[in-house]
Structure 1
C-alpha cells in the first residue's frame, strides 16, 4: 500500500497524478488525497487540546483563530451598538473554557507586549495635544472627567466593603464598567508584583461587567438628555457658534477695523506688547489706500481706519478686539485675489523642532504662516512655536510665494508614510524602565509602580510632545498608529480571555458572578449621572460637549460613536479628545493603587 505521511507531499503527488485521464490513476489520486487529508486532521487534533502536538504552530493557530473570530463578531451590531474588539476577549474565554490555550510563559509575554503596544500608540496620538488641552480651555472639561473617575473609584471601594468581594475582583469589575482595558492590565500587573501570582478573577470581573459598561454609558447619556430636557437644535446651534466651552479649544480668524488712536502710527511689533496677548495679524487693508489687501509683517505700520485680519485663541479674541477697535466683516478673498491661502504639510526632517521665526518664510518669499494644525488642534502661529513633522500649516501669500513655501516645507505625503521606528522602540524601552521604578505613597504599604501600562503611556506622551525639541522625529501616520494599536489590543484581549476562560462558567453559575453585572452597572451609571449634573448645572456645559466628556471619562469609543450620531457638529469628539489622555492615565494609576492599598 502506498502511504505518504507528509500532507504537502501527498497533495503534490495527487496534483501530478491528476493530470492523467486513466480511471486507475484517478482512483489512486483520490486515495492519496484522502490520506493527506486524514494525516492533516490527525496531526491537527492528535494530543488535543495541544493542536499539532503543541508548540509554536499550536500557539499561533489558537491565537489567530481567537483574534479573527473576535474581529468578525465585533462587526455585528445590535440596535446600532457593537462591542467591537472586546469580542476577542469573549472568544478567548470560549477557547480557554475548552482548554485550547497557550503555553503559560508565552501567554504572559504576548499579553504584556500587546498591552505595551496599545498604550504606547495611544500616547503617541494624544501626546501633542495633552498639555495644550489645559492651556486652551480644557481645564474645566478635565476637572469634570477627574470627578467622574473619583466617583467611580469611590463607588468601587464602597461596594468592596459592603459586599466583601475581593478588591481584585472589584477592580476588574471597575475596569469593565468603565471599558478601560489598560486599567485591567495595570491591575493584573500590580497584583502579580504584590502576590507573585496572576489573579484570573480580575479578568473575569472585567469580562462580566464590560458589555453593560458599554450599554449603560449610552443609556446614561440618554437619561441626561431627558433629565435636562435638551433642545437638540438649540444645543447644536450653540455648539456650532462656539458656546458651551467648546469655543476655547481652537483658534479663530477675526476681522477688525483699527479705532485705537494709541497705536496709530505704530508698527505691529510695537503694538502687540501693549496688549500682552498671543495673536497673529495676517492681512491688512490700509485706510485711504488702493483698496487692496496686503500681507502684514512685524514692521507693518498700523493706522486708524485700517482693516486687519488676525488669528488668536477664542478666549483672547474679545480682549484683542476691545484693544484694537471694532469687529467687522470682510471677504478677504474678494478684496485681493492676488493673495491666496493654502495648507502645507511639514515633511522635511530638518524642520523638525525649528521655530517659525527660523523658517524666514515672510522675509524670503513674502508669505506668512498664520496658523498651525497639530493632531487636530489649531495653534496660533507665534514666532517661537516649534514645528513638528506632520504639522499642517496655513500659508497666505501670492501664487509664486506658495510654490517657494511648498518647497521649503516639504508637503510630501510619501515622506510622512516612511516609518520612524526609533522613537517607538526607544520609547518602549524607556517606558519599561520608568514603569519599574517604585514610588512610595503615604498609607500604602507597597510601593506603586506605573508598570507596563503606565510607564510606556507617560513616555509616549512626553516623547510625542517634546521629542521634536531634541530633533527626534515622532510623527506616525494615523493608519500606522491604528495598526499598532489594534494589534496590541487584539493580542492583549486574546491572552486575557484565554487565561480567564477555564473558570469563567463556574464563576458565573456557582460563585455568584451574575451579581457582578449589577455592581458593574452601578459603577457605570452613578458617576456619569453625578458628573453630568455637575457639568450641566454648575459649569453650564453644552450638552454635546458634555456627553463627549462623559464618554471620554469612561474611555468608551462606542459611546463616542453614539454621541457623534446625535449631532452634525464635532463637539462630542472635541470633548472626548480633550479629556481622554488624562483619564487614561488616571484609570491606569487608580487601578494599581486600589490593588496595592486594599489587596
Structure 2
C-alpha cells in the first residue's frame, strides 16, 4: 500500500492533481445539498478544502500557488466575457439608479471594514478577508492576496486573508437572505412590491394595432417612424384578409392590422398615433406563429458565419435582398429590438418572418449551422488571458500611494474579459462561447481556486474560529453583510419608491450572492429581481476587485 500512500501524501505533480480533484469533487457534490432552499453550490469546495487542510492534507507549495493562480485567472476572465456584452449598457440611464444604490452598498461595506479595523484592532489584511467573505466575493479575495504578495511584507501572509474570508463566508450567504426577509417584513404594508414601470424601457413585446387614425393614412412606415420618434419593427401587415411583409416604403391604410415589436414603454405613444391595440395577447409562450397565417412562416436562424460577426444588421439588407423581416434577436437570453444599427454577434438568433424558401436562403446567407458553434473558440480565451495578465502587470501611479498599483491576476483578466466581451465583435473578433462552455470555464477555474484556497487556509482554520477573536470575526462579517443591505433597502423602498423585486435583485447583485437571488426569485412573481441583479453585478464585481487592492495599499 506504499504506492497508494505516495499518491495522496508525497508531494508530486500527480499527488497535487489528485488532491485538488478530490477536494473539488467532494465540495461540488456536497454543495448540491439544499437546506431551507439555500445551497452553497461550488463555494462548498472552499470548505471541503478547509477540512482537507485541517486533517493535514497538503500539496507542494509551488503547485498550490500555480493551480490557485491559474484557476483564478480562468474564472475571472470567463466572468468578464459573460458580463461584458451588457456591462456598459447597464451603466446607462435605465440602470443608473440601481447602480448608484449598489455603489452605496459597496461604499458602506468598505466604511464598516475600515471602521472595525480602527476600533477593534483587527488587522487590515484580516478585515479585507472578512469583507470578501461577508460579500461572498472570491475574486476580491484573490486580488487582495496578490496585492499582499506584491507588497512583499513578510509579516503578512495571503493565507491570513483566506482565513477571514472562510470565517465570514457562511453568514455572508445566509445574511443577505435574512436581511431581505427582514426588509420584506418591515415594508409588508408598502405598495411597492409590484413590478416597477422603470423596467418597461428594457422589455421588448409584441402588440397588434388597428390603424384607425386618419392622420397616418397614406403615410409610409418610414414616415410614421419619423413622426413617432420611436424604435419599432412591423413584422406583419394584414389588409383585406391578406398578409404582407411591410417594408419601409409600405403605405398604411385605414383598417390595416399591424403586428408590431416594440419596447413596452413606447406602446402607448405608438398606439395613440396609429390606433387602438387589439385584444390578442401576442406574448404567450405557446403561440404557434406558423399558424397565425397561411402565407408566411416564422423561423429562428443562428448567425454562424464569422464574417458577419461585428456587422450592423442594416448592412446585410436582408429585407431588400430576400423579402423577409427580422422581428426579434435573441442574445444570451435577452430579446433585442432588431434596429438597423444593431451590431450582430456570432451566436445571435434571428427570428425571421417570410416565405419558407426566402427564409432558407437567409439561413444560407448567415450560416445557420448550429454545430459550428459547439466547438469553443479557445484562441480568443487564451489570447484574452495573455492580454489580461499584461494589463494586470502595468504599474499605475495613484496619488497618496508610495508605489505603483497593479490590477494583478484578478483585476487585469476581468477587465480584459469585459472589454473583449463588449467590443470584440466590433473589431470582428470571434469571442462567442456557448453558455455551457462559459459555465464550464468558470466552474473549473473557481473550483481549482477554491480548493487550493481551502487547503492553504485549513491548517489554522478551526483554531482561529474557536478562539475569542474568531467569534469577533464572525460578528464583524455578519454586520458588514447585513447593515448596508438593510440601510440601502430602506432608502430605496421607503423614499425612492422602487419596487421590492428590483431592490432585492440589486442587493443580491451588489453582494455577489446568486444563492440569495434564487431565494428572492421564489418570492417575487416577475423577473425584476433577475434583471436588477444582472444590471448591477458587472460594475460591483469590478469595483470590489479594485477596492480590495486599494484598501490595502492606502491604509496598510
Give the 3 Å change call, closer, same or farther, for CA 229–262 of structure 1 in structure 2: same
Instruction: Give deviations 1:73-115, integer Å, cap 9, x for gaps.
Output: 2122222222222222122222223332122222111111101
CA-CA distance at 1:398 after TM superposition: 2.4
Q: Counterpart of 1:290? A: 240
Q: Counterpart of 2:130? A: 173
Q: Where does 1:448-463 land on structure 2 (aligned, <5 Å)?
A: 448-463=405-420
Greater shift, 91-100 or 123-132, is seen at 91-100
d(CA) in 2 for partners of 1:373 and 1:230? Answer: 38
Instruction: Give deviations 1:147-185, integer Å, cap 9, x for gaps.
Output: 211111122121111112111111111110111110110
Give the number of the structure with larger relative contact order, counting CA–CA contacts within 8 Å between residues 6 or more apart: 2
CA-CA distance at 1:515 after TM superposition: 1.1
d(CA) in 2 for partners of 1:244 and 1:384? Answer: 26
Is residue 42 from structure 1 mapped to residue 2 from structure 2 by the alignment? yes
d(CA) in 2 for partners of 1:275 and 1:327? Answer: 16
Q: Determine which of 353, 368, 375 is the counterpart of 2:325.
A: 368
Q: Where does 1:105-504 land on structure 2 (aligned, <5 Å)?
A: 105-135=62-92, 137-197=94-154, 198-229=157-188, 235=193, 238-239=194-195, 243-258=196-211, 263-285=216-238, 289-329=239-279, 336-504=293-461
Greater shift, 289-298 or 320-329, is seen at 320-329
Q: Counterpart of 1:542? A: 499
CA-CA distance at 1:354 after TM superposition: 2.0
SS in 2 for 1:297: coil
Give the 3 Å change call, closer, same or farther, for CA 216–308 of structure 1 in structure 2: same
C-alpha RMSD over aligned residues: 2.4
d(CA) in 1 for partners of 2:119 and 2:268? Answer: 53
Q: Is the 8 A contact 1:136 1:249 kept in 2?
A: no
Instruction: Give deviations 1:533-578, integer Å, cap 9, x for gaps.
Output: 1221233222222212211111112111111222453332222122
SS in 1 for 2:242: coil
Give the 3 Å change call, closer, same or farther, for CA 195–321 of structure 1 in structure 2: farther
Is residue 576 from structure 1 mapped to residue 545 from structure 2 by the alignment? no
d(CA) in 2 for partners of 1:339 and 1:549? Answer: 42
d(CA) in 1 for partners of 2:484 and 2:520? Answer: 18
Greater shift, 390-399 or 487-496, is seen at 390-399
Unaligned runs of 5+ in 1: 1-40
SS in 2 for 1:390: coil
SS in 2 for 1:293: strand
CA-CA distance at 1:302 after TM superposition: 2.8
d(CA) in 2 for partners of 1:596 and 1:281? Answer: 56
CA-CA distance at 1:369 after TM superposition: 0.4
Q: Is the 8 A contact 2:9 2:57 kept in 1?
A: no
Q: Is the 8 A contact 2:172 2:481 kept in 1?
A: yes
Greater shift, 401-410 or 574-583, is seen at 401-410
Q: Counterpart of 2:29? A: 72
Q: Is the 8 A contact 1:129 1:374 kept in 2?
A: no
Give the 3 Å change call, closer, same or farther, for CA 143–171 of structure 1 in structure 2: same
SS in 2 for 1:594: helix
Greater gyration radius: 1
Q: Is the 8 A contact 1:127 1:462 kept in 2?
A: yes
Is residue 87 from structure 1 mapped to residue 51 from structure 2 by the alignment? no
Instruction: Give deviations 1:493-518, integer Å, cap 9, x for gaps.
Output: 11111111222233223461121001
Report the TM-score when normalising by structure 2: 0.92
Q: Is the 8 A contact 2:207 2:281 kept in 1?
A: no
Instruction: Give deviations 1:295-340, integer Å, cap 9, x for gaps.
Output: 1111112345543233233333333334444434457867733223
d(CA) in 1 for partners of 2:225 and 2:98? Answer: 30
d(CA) in 2 for partners of 1:140 and 1:75? Answer: 35
Give the 3 Å change call, closer, same or farther, for CA 244–440 of structure 1 in structure 2: farther
Instruction: Give deviations 1:284-305, integer Å, cap 9, x for gaps.
Output: 23xxx42323211111123455
Q: Counterpart of 2:285? A: none
Q: Counterpart of 1:597? A: 554
Report the TM-score when normalising by structure 1: 0.86
Give the 3 Å change call, closer, same or farther, for CA 158–52 of structure 1 in structure 2: closer
Q: Counterpart of 1:29? A: none
d(CA) in 1 for partners of 2:181 and 2:124? Answer: 31
d(CA) in 2 for partners of 1:151 and 1:266? Answer: 56
Q: Counterpart of 1:585? A: 542
d(CA) in 2 for partners of 1:301 and 1:136? Answer: 35
